[in-house]
């Protein structure tokens, strides 16, 4: 619910000399989950052009039971994008009550008269500036095989202004296929340049949303995940590891501070942390954290995980892909860790 975090813009990245910090401890937070019914079958694909986003991306999402919200959050750990939440004007409606009566009648109204504005439920005002974006990625639930009504309202209002933009579609359902949601999107954004594949994430797969969205995005935008990755050599206990930083303001800012030696403290048998390194913050809730995750906690604490964790909010700085020997190298106590450009 708290994802109206329009992307932070830092002016330049501070060119800092080698830096050593010493550190201290702290706590964290949590969230819920959901999923629901079923009606139809499978999806089709309508191949068009591959993605070539060179400019800015907007992720726009609507969610009733938090699945789309979690999917959008997961995607945003992989890409830099602005974020927009679509919210129904009428608050507190339970679309699932009485065998989905409200959701069902909203969808029926649109089906019966899709060209009339009065068929679409009112949504809260949004600050959508289409000219700012080359790519719009829509994250929406499926309702009765169609696109959820509030997202249809958003697209009914703004779809024409997305002409010529690259459009990505991520749909979550309990089990129904998403082909009719794709048709809704194409009806509502008639001049959109749709990616060749939409991503379908069942409610039961939301826990894997980070991997699913990253794999889909990298397939759709093959030129995005190429060469000039920021690779960092991390040395501790006489052993070195390679981390790749996020292509985000946080990753870039960390890159700009290197080389850096941090005196990191031990916590919980799975992480080393160090306060005193301030970086741009765009926190997301992580259900699961893996060994090798390099995270920013509380905007000024670098955390390097060497064991599984989760249930707190962080901003990702980067990740060590090969963590073999990481736990042994970091040891069981406080440790000095050197970060340098590779
Ligand atoms: C009104 C309504 C209708 C739904 N209809 C279907 C359906 O026809 N088929 C299906 O597989 N799931 C259906 N669902 C379940 C949602 O698509 C699914 O739980 C989705 O992951 C919810 O996303 P959200 O948590 O972002 O709202 C429906 C949910 C609601 C609220």
Domain extent listing, the chain: 32-225, 231-341
Nearest-CA residue for ligand 1 atom 27 is 64
Residue 96 CA: nearest ligand 1 atom is: 31
Query: Per residue in 283-293, pLDDT tens?
Result: 999 988 999 99
Helix (H, G, I), strand (E, B) or coil at 185: helix
Residue 18: per-residue pLDDT: 31
* Residue of 39, 142, 205 best suited for mutating to test ligand 1, as the one with most atoms within 8 Å of CB: 142
140 in contact with ligand 1, CB cutoff 6 A = no
Hey, which residues does 264 pair with through a beta bridge?
335
73 in contact with ligand 1, CB cutoff 6 A = no
Mean pLDDT of the chain: 85
Query: Per residue in 121-175, pLDDT tens?
Result: 999 999 999 999 999 999 999 999 999 999 999 999 999 999 999 999 999 999 9
C-alpha 172 to ligand 1 mean position (Å)? 7
CB 323 within 8 A of CB 303: no
* Residue of 35, 68, 141 best suited for mutating to test ligand 1, as the one with most atoms within 8 Å of CB: 141
177 in contact with ligand 1, CB cutoff 6 A = no
Query: Phi, psi at residue 162, to the nearest 5°?
Result: -100, 15
Which helix or strand (DSSP H or E) is residue 271 part of?
Answer: strand 271-275
Pick the CATH number of 32-225 from 3.30.360.10, 3.90.1150.10, 3.40.50.360, 3.20.20.80: 3.40.50.360
Pick the CATH number of 231-341 from 3.40.30.10, 2.40.100.20, 2.30.30.140, 3.40.50.300: 2.40.100.20
Q: List the one residue out of 246, 258, 249 whose CA is nearest residue 318.
A: 246
CB 146 within 8 A of CB 107: yes
What does the alpha-carbon distance between residue 12 and residue 112 come to, in Å, rounded to a whole number?
A: 52
């Amino acid at each position: 619910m708290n994802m109206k975090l329009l992307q932070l813009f830092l002016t330049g990245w501070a060119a800092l000399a080698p830096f050593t910090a010493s550190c201290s401890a702290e706590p964290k937070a949590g969230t819920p989950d959901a999923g629901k019914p079923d009606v139809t079958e499978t999806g089709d694909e309508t191949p068009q052009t591959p993605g070539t986003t060179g400019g800015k991306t907007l992720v726009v999402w609507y969610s009733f039971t938090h699945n789309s919200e979690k999917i959008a959050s997961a995607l945003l750990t992989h890409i830099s994008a602005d974020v927009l939440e679509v919210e129904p004007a009428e608050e507190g409606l339970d679309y699932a009550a009485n065998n989905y009566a409200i959701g069902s009648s909203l969808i029926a109204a649109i089906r019966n008269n899709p060209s009339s504005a009065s068929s679409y439920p009112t949504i809260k005002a949004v600050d959508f500036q289409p000219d700012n974006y080359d790519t719009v990625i829509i994250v929406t639930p499926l309702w009765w095989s169609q696109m959820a009504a509030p997202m249809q309202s958003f697209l009914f209002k703004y779809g024409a202004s997305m002409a010529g933009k690259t459009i990505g579609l991520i749909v979550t359902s309990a089990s129904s296929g998403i082909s009719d949601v794709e048709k809704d999107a194409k009806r509502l954004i008639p001049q959109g340049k749709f990616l060749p594949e939409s991503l379908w994430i069942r409610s039961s797969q939301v826990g894997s949303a980070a991997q699913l969205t990253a794999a889909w995005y990298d397939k759709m935008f093959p030129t995005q995940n190429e060469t000039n990755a920021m690779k960092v050599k991390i040395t501790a206990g006489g052993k070195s590891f390679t981390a790749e930083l996020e292509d985000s303001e946080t990753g870039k800012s960390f890159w700009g501070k290197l080389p850096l030696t941090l005196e990191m403290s031990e916590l919980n048998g799975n992480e080393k942390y160090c306060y005193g390194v301030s970086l741009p913050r765009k926190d997301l809730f992580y259900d699961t954290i893996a060994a090798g995750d390099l995270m920013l906690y509380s905007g000024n604490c670098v955390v390097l995980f060497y064991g599984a964790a989760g249930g707190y909010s962080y901003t990702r700085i980067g990740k060590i892909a090969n963590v073999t020997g990481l736990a042994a190298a970091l040891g069981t106590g406080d440790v000095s860790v050197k970060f340098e450009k590779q």
